A and B are shown apart, each in its own frame.
Chain A
C-alpha cells in the first residue's frame, strides 16, 4: 500500500519497487511459500488509506506492507488493530509508538535524528533553523532534535512549518538568510522538500553565499530518488542521516543494487525506504514459511529476533518493541545523485522508539557518540 501518485510519490514508488523486488526474489528462489502481492495506491489521501486498509483486511489480506507518512500510519493502525492484521511499516519515523499490529522495519529516532545531532554539533555548528511539513513527523522530529541540540549547548533560532505539498518558500528563505544559522534542519517531505532545496540554493547564490558550505541543509529523510527530483543545480552538499545509502559497498548491497537496477531501469532509484520495504517483505516471507499461516499473532511471535543479512548489514527484529536493529550512517549528497558516506556506526544499534535509553529523565544530556569517523 504505497502512494505511487501524490506529493511524496517518488519515495513511495521506490518503496514499492523495493517490496516488489523482494517478492520477485522469493518467488524465483522456489521458497517454501509463494507470495502474490496485491498493490493498492491511496494517492497520499488519508481517507483512501483507511478505506483501502479496510478493503484489504475484509478481503482476507492480513499482512500489509505500506505507508510512508506517519499521519497515514496513524490513520490505518486502528483498522489493523480491529481486524487483527499486521502492518509492516517500512520507513524511518519519529518514534513514540509501538502498536502490537505493526512491525517497524525503518529507523527509530535514536537511529536517525540523535546521530545527526551529534554530527552537526561536533562538525557543523550549534545554531539551527528548522523547517518542516506541517504534520506529526516534523513536529515530533523537531522536538527530539531541539531537546538534544539544546542539551549539547546548541540553539534553534526558528521553526517554520508548511502544508505538505506547499512550495512557497520566499518568506522562510528570507528569514533563514536574515538569521544566518549554522545549518538548516529539514523535515519537509516530497515536492515541498525538492522546491525548498532548489529555491534555497538559488537564493544563497544570489546573496553570494556558498550554501552547501556556509548554511548546509541536514535531513533525516533525504534519499537518492529525491536527489534526482531536486535537479542538478542544487543536488550536492546536503547532509542526510540514514541507515542505508545505495552507495554502500557491502556484498549484499551490490547484489541488491544490481537486481534493483535490472528490475526497475526506469526508476525511481533505490532509497533507504525502498531497502526497508525489501527487508519487510523478506522478513514476512521467512516468517510465513516458518509459521505456515498468516495469522497476525503467530507471525508477530515468530518474527521476534529474526535476522536478515540486508543490503545495509545485519538487521534483526527487537522482540520487545518490534522495531529493527539498524546501522545509523551520515552521508553527503554528490552531484551524481549519490551520497558519500561520512560516518557510520560500528554495528547495528538497538531501536529505542520511546528514547528510554537515549534521553534523560527530565532533560537531555550528553552521551558518547554512536558513530565513528570514516571520512573527514
Chain B
C-alpha cells in the first residue's frame, strides 16, 4: 500500500451522526460544493440507525457528533486503531471525556459546532488523508513485523548455505538474496520455504528434489 493524497472528494458520501437541529445546513451545503452527498441516519433510543459493515472507506465518511452519548459503535481495529471508514468528530462541548470518545472512534479530524463553512474543506481533507496515511503506516508496520519474524530464517539459511556449500557469510547471503529476487519473493519468505523443504524427512518425495540455486549451479542441500 502506498499513500496517495486524495484531493477531490467527488462521489463521496458523508453520514452525519447528529441530532437534527436545523444547523446542519452549513455542513450539507458546503459538502455539496465539494461533491459530497450528505445523509443523516435516524437516531432512535440514542443509537444511530446505521449498519457500519457495508460502508466503504473509498466512498464513505462518518461525521460523529461528540455530544451524543455512544450513538454509534464502531469496531476500531485493535492494532491500527483505525475505524473501517474515516471519522470526523463534530465537537460541541470540549470536555476531555467527549474528545476521548471521538479519539477512540478513530476520528482523524474535527469540526467545531456551529459548523463554519470555511472549516469543512480542511476537516474533510485532513480527516480522509490522515486516515489514508495511518492505514499506509499500519500496512508498512505489518510488513516490517512480518520481515522481523522472518530474520531468524534468513540467519539459519545463511548458516546452512555456508555449511553445505562452503561459502563465506557474504557469499551465502548474496546467493540467497539473488535467488529470492529471481523468484520475486521476500528474502525472509524464500529462506523460510528453503528451510521447510530441507527440514522434511528423507523418505518424502520433496526431500529428493532439492533446490538448485542459479549462478552457483550447485545443490543447496
- In the assembled complex, B30 has its CB within 8 A of some CB on chain A: yes
| Residues of chain B with a CB closer than 8 A to A96's CB | 121
Q: Which residue of A lies closest to B11 (CB)?
A: A361
The minimal Cβ–Cβ distance linking A97 to chain B, given in whole angstroms, is: 8
**Contact between chains at A98 and B6 (CB < 8 Å):** no
The CA-CA distance from A355 to B35 in the complex, in Å, is 10
Q: A354-B35, A356-B9 are in contact. Are A363 and B117 (CB under 8 A)?
A: no
- In the assembled complex, A122 has its CB within 8 A of some CB on chain B: no
Count how many pairs of residues, one from A and one from B, have CB atoms less than 8 Å apart in the complex: 41
- In the assembled complex, B10 has its CB within 8 A of some CB on chain A: yes
The CA-CA distance from A81 to B26 in the complex, in Å, is 14
| Residues of chain B with a CB closer than 8 A to A353's CB | 33
Q: A98-B30, A320-B33 are in contact. Are A362 and B4 (CB under 8 A)?
A: yes
Say which residue of B10, B117, B118 sits within 8 Å of A356 (CB atoms).
Answer: B10
Between A and B, 27 residue pairs with Cβ closer than 8 Å are A77-B118, A81-B118, A98-B30, A98-B33, A99-B117, A99-B118, A100-B117, A320-B32, A320-B33, A353-B33, A354-B8, A354-B33, A354-B35, A354-B121, A356-B9, A356-B10, A356-B34, A357-B10, A359-B7, A359-B8, A360-B8, A361-B6, A361-B10, A362-B6, A362-B7, A362-B8, A363-B4
Q: Which residue of B lies closest to A100 (CB)?
A: B117
Q: A98-B30, A98-B33, A321-B33 are in contact. Are A355 and B121 (CB under 8 A)?
A: no
* Residues of B1-44 contacting chain A, CB below 8 A: 4-11, 29-30, 32-35
Residues 128-142 of A, flagged 1 when their CB comes within 8 A of B and 0 if not, give 000000000000000
**Contact between chains at A98 and B8 (CB < 8 Å):** no
* Residues of B168-183 contacting chain A, CB below 8 A: none
Residues 113-132 of B, flagged 1 when their CB comes within 8 A of A and 0 if not, give 00001100100000000000
* Residues of A74-131 contacting chain B, CB below 8 A: 77, 81, 96, 98-100
Q: Which residue of A lies closest to B58 (CB)?
A: A361
Q: Which residue of B lies closest to A361 (CB)?
A: B8
The CA-CA distance from A361 to B117 in the complex, in Å, is 22
| Residues of chain A with a CB closer than 8 A to B118's CB | 77, 81, 99
The CA-CA distance from A320 to B28 in the complex, in Å, is 11
Residues 356-376 of A, flagged 1 when their CB comes within 8 A of B and 0 if not, give 110111110000000000000
| Residues of chain B with a CB closer than 8 A to A77's CB | 118
The minimal Cβ–Cβ distance linking B48 to chain A, given in whole angstroms, is: 27
**Interface range on chain A: under 10, 10 to 19, 20 to 34, or 35 or more?**
10 to 19
The minimal Cβ–Cβ distance linking A290 to chain B, given in whole angstroms, is: 22
Considering residues B6, B10, B29, which has the most beta carbons from chain A within 10 angstroms of its beta carbon? B10
The CA-CA distance from A99 to B120 in the complex, in Å, is 11
Considering residues A96, A99, A100, A356, which has the most beta carbons from chain B within 10 angstroms of its beta carbon? A356
The minimal Cβ–Cβ distance linking A319 to chain B, given in whole angstroms, is: 10
* Residues of A281-300 contacting chain B, CB below 8 A: none
| Residues of chain A with a CB closer than 8 A to B11's CB | 361
Q: Which residue of B lies closest to A321 (CB)?
A: B33
Q: Which residue of B lies closest to A359 (CB)?
A: B8
| Residues of chain A with a CB closer than 8 A to B29's CB | 320
The CA-CA distance from A100 to B35 in the complex, in Å, is 17
| Residues of chain B with a CB closer than 8 A to A359's CB | 7-8
Q: Which residue of B lies closest to A143 (CB)?
A: B7
**Contact between chains at A354 and B117 (CB < 8 Å):** no
Q: Which residue of B lies closest to A360 (CB)?
A: B8
Q: Which residue of A lies closest to B4 (CB)?
A: A362
* Residues of A194-233 contacting chain B, CB below 8 A: none
| Residues of chain A with a CB closer than 8 A to B117's CB | 98-100
| Residues of chain A with a CB closer than 8 A to B4's CB | 362-363
**Contact between chains at B35 and A356 (CB < 8 Å):** yes
The minimal Cβ–Cβ distance linking B37 to chain A, given in whole angstroms, is: 12
| Residues of chain A with a CB closer than 8 A to B5's CB | 362
| Residues of chain B with a CB closer than 8 A to A99's CB | 117-118
**Contact between chains at A356 and B30 (CB < 8 Å):** no
The minimal Cβ–Cβ distance linking A104 to chain B, given in whole angstroms, is: 12
| Residues of chain B with a CB closer than 8 A to A321's CB | 33
The CA-CA distance from A126 to B33 in the complex, in Å, is 32
The minimal Cβ–Cβ distance linking B8 to chain A, given in whole angstroms, is: 5
| Residues of chain A with a CB closer than 8 A to B10's CB | 356-357, 361
The minimal Cβ–Cβ distance linking B147 to chain A, given in whole angstroms, is: 28
The CA-CA distance from A98 to B7 in the complex, in Å, is 16
Residues 309-332 of A, flagged 1 when their CB comes within 8 A of B and 0 if not, give 000000000001100000000000
**Contact between chains at B8 and A355 (CB < 8 Å):** yes
The CA-CA distance from A96 to B7 in the complex, in Å, is 11
Q: A320-B33, A321-B33 are in contact. Are A356 and B8 (CB under 8 A)?
A: yes
* Residues of B94-153 contacting chain A, CB below 8 A: 117-118, 121
The CA-CA distance from A354 to B4 in the complex, in Å, is 18
Q: Which residue of B lies closest to A77 (CB)?
A: B118
- 20 new A-B pairs (CB below 8 Å) besides A320-B32, A354-B34, A363-B4? A77-B118, A81-B118, A99-B117, A99-B118, A320-B29, A320-B33, A353-B33, A354-B33, A354-B121, A355-B8, A356-B8, A356-B33, A356-B34, A357-B10, A357-B35, A361-B6, A361-B10, A362-B4, A362-B6, A362-B8
| Residues of chain B with a CB closer than 8 A to A354's CB | 8, 33-35, 121
The minimal Cβ–Cβ distance linking A25 to chain B, given in whole angstroms, is: 33
The minimal Cβ–Cβ distance linking A191 to chain B, given in whole angstroms, is: 32
